[in-house]
Amino acid sequence: MRFRAASALLLCAAALGCRGPSSSEAPAEIIGAEPTAPAAPSTGEATAPTAAPQPTADATSSAGARVTPSDVRARADEVVRALQARDVEALAALAHPRGVRFSPYPYVEIGSDRVLSPSMLTSVPTDTRIHTWGSFDGSGEPIRKTAAQYFARFVWDANFARAEQVSIDKPISYGNTLDNSRAAYPRARIVEYYLPGSDPPSGGMDWRSLRLVFERENDRWWLVGVIHGEWTI
């Protein structure tokens, strides 16, 4: 079970249509994404935790080159293209050798969220086993799905290649589930792809976001976390 935000936040979120930018401060960098054709996902199973985190501030690589937000944005776009094309080989090549942690909600459970190694990512299409991927917000029932089923529901449940907003290191979306992603990855770069709600009867509560977490090691950005975002009750 995850912690809940205060009832005031619940009332505020409902009044605002339960979507949109964080009220505390605007994203550090928001860029419009170029539309591309729709598509779907793929994935695998768990292994060891990710490597030691790297600094969030623009840094200098061991070769002396300046690290800029555009570097991590470019790598994030590669991940999005791999997910859209269901290219598990390309996805595995972008994953940290120690694995990628998958979190169904913005509250990252370091000890229990499933971590997939690169080899497990490539075996996703053939993995028919049922795994536990955390618990559903609200009910607390375990999320028991194959890797492909999990990706369809908690990774590529919208075409994030068409994201209207992309932010680096500042959250765009919020629900009533606490967001500890920065505490869970204190020195990583987090790129969020955000799609606003489009269903009038739901008051915009059908918004979705995909957060990709990167750490820099050996002058390269590695994918270490994938965090799903949606309105929760």
The DSSP string of 57-98 is S--B-TTSPBP-HHHHHHHHHHHHHHHHBT-HHHHHHHB-TT
Query: Is residue 103 classed as helix, strand or coil in its secondary structure?
Result: strand
* CA gap 156, 2 in Å, rounded: 22
Structure token digits, residue 158: 């919208």
Stated as kind and residue range, the H or E segment containing 226 is strand 220-230
Q: Is the pLDDT of residue 76 over 90?
A: yes
Nearest to 161 by CA among 193, 196, 205: 193
**102-145 confidence digits (pLDDT tens):** 999 999 999 999 999 999 999 988 899 999 999 998 888 999 99
pLDDT score of 205: 75
pLDDT at 91 over 60: yes
pLDDT at 4 over 50: no
Q: How confident is the model at residue 203 (pLDDT cuts 50, 70, 90)?
A: low
Task: Single out the residue of 5, 35, 36, 43 nearest to residue 22, CA to CA.
Answer: 5
Torsion of CA 116, 205, 157, 30, to 10 degrees: -80
Give the residue with greater pLDDT, 177 vs 136. Answer: 136
Phi, psi of 209 (to 5 degrees): -145, 150
| pLDDT confidence tier of residue 3, bands split at 50, 70 and 90 | very low
For the cut 50, the answer to whether the pLDDT of residue 20 exceeds it is no
The verdict on pTM exceeding 0.85 is: no
Structure token digits, residue 5: 């935000």
Evaluate whether 113 touches 134 at the Cβ level (below 8 Å): yes
Residue 180 or residue 33, greater confidence: 180
Query: Rounded mean pLDDT of 60-85?
Result: 79
CA distances from 182 to 16, 169, 190 (A): 24, 8, 8
